[in-house]
């Protein structure tokens, strides 16, 4: 439990530095590297600290002092009363561990259901390079699977989205997000990981957009992004 708390503190500090300093910079690749490395270092520092403590730990020397043996005389007339500490009714450490395990199981089941739904939709892949869907996973990618809602898009717009998602795939963005998802399962009690995930997603989009405007007309590409954003907003509004 100490490791979980210490690594949580390290991760929180690293994200605070990103939010105050690196987030304002325009070095998109550097921001992505920092976010990933800060997670790895934040998880490793407590382990390194424990290892160093074990290496430099000096065994305590115990001094023995010889004392004269004193005969032990028991007075039968005096009753010997022994007091034992009263054990706590609840072992809070066990309760906390149980809560932690339940949280992990809940997050693991939730994540498994999401992956199952994505793969189920992905199983409908046709001759196209993408899966046509109107689900909430539309206009996104999951590793090599690309989901596009092509119901209101022109062929040119579909090609833009397709290239956009292929760029995500080439840059291995799904691996970044999967790494954070695994950490969210283990450290489900740490809200900073949700901020990490959001920041990584933003960096991913900036990274892809920078490449897209070099291939497609920036104005038309911006119009497409606006169209998709308005469509998602109207779809989420009852």
- Indicate the pLDDT class of residue 188, thresholds 50, 70 and 90: very high
Can you tell me the distance from the alpha carbon of 173 to that of 35, in angstroms, rounded to the nearest whole number?
13
Mean pLDDT in residue range 1-18: 92
**pLDDT: which is higher, 94 or 178:** 178
Q: Which of 18, 41, 42 is nearest to 203 (CA)?
A: 18
In a domain, residue 177? The reply is yes
pLDDT at residue 42 greater than cutoff 50: yes
In a domain, residue 80? The reply is no
Can you tell me the distance from the alpha carbon of 139 to that of 131, in angstroms, rounded to the nearest whole number?
10
In a domain, residue 207? The reply is yes
In a domain, residue 29? The reply is no
Query: How many alpha carbons lie under 13 Å from residue 46 in its C-beta half-sphere?
Result: 14
In a domain, residue 155? The reply is yes
In a domain, residue 106? The reply is yes
For residue 85, what pLDDT is reported? Answer: 54
pTM attached to this predicted model = 0.79
Domain, as residue range, for 121: 101-236
Which tokens in the block code for residue 61? 């020397």
- Indicate the pLDDT class of residue 238, thresholds 50, 70 and 90: very low
In a domain, residue 25? The reply is no
Element (H, E) at 147: strand 145-148
Which tokens in the block code for residue 22? 């690196």
Can you tell me the distance from the alpha carbon of 83 to that of 88, in angstroms, rounded to the nearest whole number?
15
How many domains is the chain built from? 1
């Amino acid at each position: 439990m100490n490791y979980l708390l210490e690594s949580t503190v390290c991760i929180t500090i690293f994200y605070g530095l990103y939010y105050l300093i690196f987030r304002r910079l325009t070095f998109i690749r550097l921001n992505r590297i920092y976010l990933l490395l800060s997670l790895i270092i934040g998880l490793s520092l407590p382990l390194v600290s424990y290892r160093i403590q074990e290496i430099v730990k000096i065994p305590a020397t115990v001094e023995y002092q010889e004392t004269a043996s004193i005969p032990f005389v028991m007075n039968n007339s005096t009753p010997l009363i022994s007091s034992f500490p009263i054990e706590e009714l609840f072992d809070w450490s066990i309760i906390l561990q149980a809560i932690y395990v339940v949280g992990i199981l809940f997050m693991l089941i939730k994540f498994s259901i999401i992956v199952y739904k994505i793969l189920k939709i992905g199983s409908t892949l046709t001759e196209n390079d993408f899966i046509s869907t109107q689900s909430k996973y539309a206009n996104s990618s999951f590793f090599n699977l690309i989901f596009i809602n092509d119901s209101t898009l022109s062929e040119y717009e579909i090609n833009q989205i397709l290239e956009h998602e292929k760029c995500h795939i080439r840059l291995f963005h799904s691996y970044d997000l999967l790494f954070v998802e695994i950490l969210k399962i283990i450290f489900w009690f740490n809200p900073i990981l949700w901020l990490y995930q959001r920041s990584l997603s933003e960096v991913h989009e900036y990274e892809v957009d920078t490449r897209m405007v070099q291939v497609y007309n920036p104005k038309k590409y911006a119009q497409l992004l606006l169209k998709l954003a308005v469509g998602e907003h109207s779809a989420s509004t009852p």
